[in-house]
Structure 1
Amino acid sequence: MGCYLSKNRVDELLSALARADERLKIEKEQKSIISNQIATAVQHLSSDVRRSVLEEMVALLRIDELTEKNTRLLSQNKIPLKNASSFQQLLVQATRRRQLFDFQPEWKLNNKRHAYEFIDKLGVKRPKTYAYNQPINKIVPINGSVLKPENGSSSHGVFIFDELGGVFEVRTGESFSSVQNALDKATDLMKSGIIKKDSWLLEEFIGDFDEGALVPPVDLKFYCFYGEVGFVLEVERANETRYCEWMPDGSLASTGRYKDKSFIGSGFSARHLETAKHISKEILTPFMRIDFIKSRKDFAFGEFTPRPGQFSSFNQEFDRYLGECYLSAEARLFSYFYKNSKVKS
């Protein structure tokens, strides 16, 4: 059941937000005054002490609190501006960039048909397509297939049809005893606005069955930065959805997320990692999450996700790490475009 607020209550919340913003501005002004005073004071310190003070100072400042004076001083003393790297802020800026100029190659690939055309050109395994761009009333599911909206996100509206006539909803983990019940749920998702468009895709199920019953596959989601992998999220959707987070070297990642829903997964192979890198290098954009489906026997492309859900939920350290991955990829892209442009030094 939805939560509906009166207009008066909404106005009260907006006023509270404005007051909080005003307090924040005052605090930022105070931090700016203090940091500029530090910048002046350190000029008379030895280089080693100066660097130590500046490293401590920059750790306490956010990107929008770095003044011109501080930035110049930090640069001159070769203090890394790691605070300027924020995956969250960069994805928000990418959204604004798309609003200003509606062309970003990663968003074209958000459409599953375009994604499959792209993947087919690269020769990467993907599920067979049985139907696409069809309204829900034209979809005829078959055993061992998956129904999904063409432009869905966060697994909304994804249903797996097993070999015994049962259906599993990926997002909720709910099981349906009949195909029609699942199609009715898909219709309800459109009526509620969760699924925006009545355009559906039916494809092969990449996974396993145990005596005809569904064994949900594992999702491997590679956070890719123009040819490099920064982070891998493994998702298990059995009785409950659980998560395992990996660094590209196979060690566990500490992201601050999913503390109560974590498990130790089976991870990924070197071949899986190289496949993700190969695909990412062909997409001329700083960031793309590339999602794969892994079963006992198969590893296949699933979909592209240009703006992952919960991208703002990483802890500060990991947000900065992913921000560094993003900026590094952006720099490599600038270098690529420059080398292939008509302007040469």
Structure 2
Amino acid sequence: MLTSLVRRLPPVARRDATIKELRRRLRRAELDAPPTERTRTEGTRTEGTRTEGTRTEQPATAMQSPSFLYKLREAGRIHGHLKRLGGPLPMWELNRKHRGYRFAVSHGVAIPPVIGAYARPADVPWDELPDAFVVKTFHGTASHGVMPVRRDGDRFRDLLSSRHLGVEDIQARLTRLVDKGSVSEELFIEELMTAPQGTGLEVVPDYKLYCFYGTIGMIMVAGRRSRAADGRAFRYFDADGADMGNARPGLALDQSLPAPRHLEALTSTGRLLSGAIRSPFVRVDLYERDEGVVFGEITPAPGGVQVLRPELDASFGELWEDAQARLEREAITAGARTTGYGPEPHDHLWRF
């Protein structure tokens, strides 16, 4: 009772609120700490108590070494501030597929053959489309707006789920996603590109390049056997085409997914586009077919589980910092980063 009354006093209440906020921030820092800095301690003593086999977070140590996961989360927070401040966000504008296509074409990179662009699903002349095509919204999250289909009688087979859909089913699915805010109403219809021979895939392999302002950290090939969350698997390669093993523990690894056949074209395209975007990190998504490399999309901030193996988290964090330093150096050299002197005379002081 007495404790409750004391805590109502303004100074003590403020102190308690401050302690609570500091504890909340500490817990947030612990959760943001990369896997490399999370350790298990046996029989350690903390604040006079003994803990047996408990997990101890070390956020202060974590902040002393590079971390890709930390930089990715930091970039997300900065993006939130930029949105609040208003103004253009050039890299994020490229996340809309039609703008990404324009960007790719401007650099001489091939894009998927587009049959038509439409303001809404009801405007698509479904009966006039070829036997195989891809429905792709201008904007979408987690591949929700991508639907490769093949005509089967008077219906279409979704190549990712093997379900048979009528036009009304396709339109209903897109409408649900639009209503949820997951995709845009505007959409493309593209030709279904043929996967390279010998891959056994119906859909072209999707290569996702982790790019750090012209430097390739990793090539991730994504394969999807179904639309279910557990129907997706991955394989990982470095910029030289060497298999990296399971780079993202906890996600399904599929060693049967194809290695890049056009490795030089793939990596040179990633370097070209990421260098032109002028951001410390961006993911450049590309497709591969027998004829060569085709642009997919620009992904400024990959979603999902982005926890890498500890040594990769540190290595990619260092690549991010190096790219950030190079961009900063270029800005300084170009005069975009200068010290603003005041108008008062000062040149006569201490000239050496």
Contact preservation (8 Å) 2:195, 2:288: no
Structure-2 separation of matches of 1:112 and 1:325: 27
Instruction: Give 1:313-332 correspondences, 5 Å limit.
Output: 313-332=307-326
Cα distance change, pair 180–257 in 1 and its aligned pair in 2 (3 A): farther
1:195-214 Cα offsets, whole Å, 9 max, x none, are: 2532222223222499xx98
Letter in 1 for 2:100: A
2:330 maps to 336
Question: Which position in structure 2 is the counterpart of 1:233?
Answer: 220
Change (3 A) 1:293 1:107: same
Assess if the C-alpha contact under 8 Å between 2:208 and 2:285 holds in 1.
Answer: yes
Of 150, 158, 173, which aligns to 1:168?
Answer: 158
> Contact 1:82–1:324 (CA<8 Å) still a contact in 2?
no
Structure 2 counterpart of 1:324, which letter?
E
Shift of 1:86: 1.6
Confirm or deny: 8 A CA contact 1:233 1:243 kept in the other structure: yes
**Offset from partner CA, 1:247-276 (integer Å, 9 cap, x none):** 212222242335544224322212211121
Say if 2:131 is the partner of 1:130.
Answer: no
1:24 Cα deviation from its structure 2 partner: 5.7
* Partner residue, 1:251: 242
Match in the other structure for 2:133 = 145
Q: Please state how far the C-alpha of 1:334 moved relative to its aligned partner.
A: 1.2
How far does the alpha carbon of each residue in 1:296-336 deviate from its partner, in whole angstroms, 9 at most, with x for none? 44420011111112253323332222111111111111122
Q: Residues 217 and 237 of structure 1 are in contact (CA less than 8 Å); yes or no, is this contact kept in structure 2?
A: no
* Gap regions ≥5 residues in structure 1: 1-17, 29-59, 67-80
Q: Which residue of 1 aligns with 2:145?
A: 157
- In structure 2, distance between residues paired with 1:277 and 1:198: 32
- Specify the code of the residue in structure 1 equivalent to 2:203: P
Report the counterpart of residue 171 of structure 2 in structure 1.
Answer: 183
1:305 aligned to 2:299? Answer: yes
Q: 1:14-46: per-residue Cα shift (whole Å, max 9, x none)?
A: xxxx89956966x98xxxxxxxxxxxxxxxxxx
Q: For the Cα contact (< 8 Å) 2:235–2:257, is it kept in 1?
A: yes
3-state SS of 1:137 partner: helix
Unaligned runs of 5+ in 2: 1-19, 31-55, 340-352
Q: AA paired with 2:239?
A: P
Counterpart among 282, 288, 292 of residue 294 in structure 1 = 288
Within 5 Å, give how 1:274-293 maps onto structure 2. Answer: 274-293=268-287
TM-score (norm 2): 0.68
Q: Provide the C-alpha distance between the structure 2 equivalents of 1:176 and 1:154, rounded to a whole number of angstroms.
A: 22
Aligned runs of 1:17-96 on 2, under 5 Å? 64-66=59-61, 83-96=64-77
TM norm structure 1? 0.69
Are the counterparts in 1 of residues 133 and 150 from structure 2 also a CA contact under 8 Å? yes
More helix by share: 1
Query: What secondary structure is seen at the aligned counterpart in 2 of 1:101?
Result: helix
RMSD: 3.3
Per-residue deviation at 1:140? 2.9
